Amino acid sequence: MPQISQLFFKTAIICLLIGLAMGLQMGMSGNHTVIAAHAHLNLLGWVSSSIFGGYYALNPAKAVKRMAMVHYVVYTLGLIVMLPALYFMELGNVQLEPLVGIGSLVVFAGVLIFAVVIFSKEIAVIPEARRA
């Protein structure tokens, strides 16, 4: 499996574990104040990162390109900025709203990079044994 797939899957499982812990905490406390952060973490962190990892696993020629790693770094950086800021903003720290916006824009940039990866042409590599 390509390294980029492994990175996305590892990031996804970390997000899932944190998202589940947040959900359990909300359920046990009855306080659902941070439900938007929980939902964003599960959708953007767990689901989207898993889909990205799966795409690269199914398209190894694109997985080895530099753009795939740029996609991972930009997207994950956006998550790291946006999600904690959203969590604490929902707890009443409204001064973090600009950071949520910045993180959201970085996540969006990561998705745009993924769109470029998907729509870029793939150059077929013919193994040596098949050329003869």
With respect to residue 23, please indicate whether it lies within any of the assigned structural domains.
Answer: yes
With respect to residue 11, please indicate whether it lies within any of the assigned structural domains.
Answer: yes
With respect to residue 39, please indicate whether it lies within any of the assigned structural domains.
Answer: yes
What pLDDT was estimated at residue 124?
53
What is the domain count for the chain? 1
Predicted structure pTM score: 0.89
With respect to residue 131, please indicate whether it lies within any of the assigned structural domains.
Answer: no
With respect to residue 31, please indicate whether it lies within any of the assigned structural domains.
Answer: yes
State the residue range of the domain holding 108.
3-119
Kindly list the distances between the CA atom of residue 15 and the CA atoms of 38, 123, 130, in Å, as whole numbers in the listed order. Answer: 10, 33, 42
What pLDDT was estimated at residue 121?
82
Instruction: Encode 102-129: b = buried (16+ Cβ within 10 Å), e = exposed.
Output: ebbebbebbeebbeebeeeeeeeeeeee
Q: How many C-beta atoms surround the C-beta of residue 93 within 10 A?
A: 12
With respect to residue 43, please indicate whether it lies within any of the assigned structural domains.
Answer: yes
With respect to residue 132, please indicate whether it lies within any of the assigned structural domains.
Answer: no
What pLDDT was estimated at residue 48?
98
Residue 124 has φ and ψ, to the nearest 5°, of -70, 135
Within 8 A by CB and 6+ apart from 52, the residues are: 8, 71, 72, 75, 114
Q: How far apart are CA 67 and CA 61, in angstroms?
A: 11
Q: List, for the chain, all residue ranges whose pLDDT scores fall below the cut of 70.
A: 122-132
With respect to residue 45, please indicate whether it lies within any of the assigned structural domains.
Answer: yes
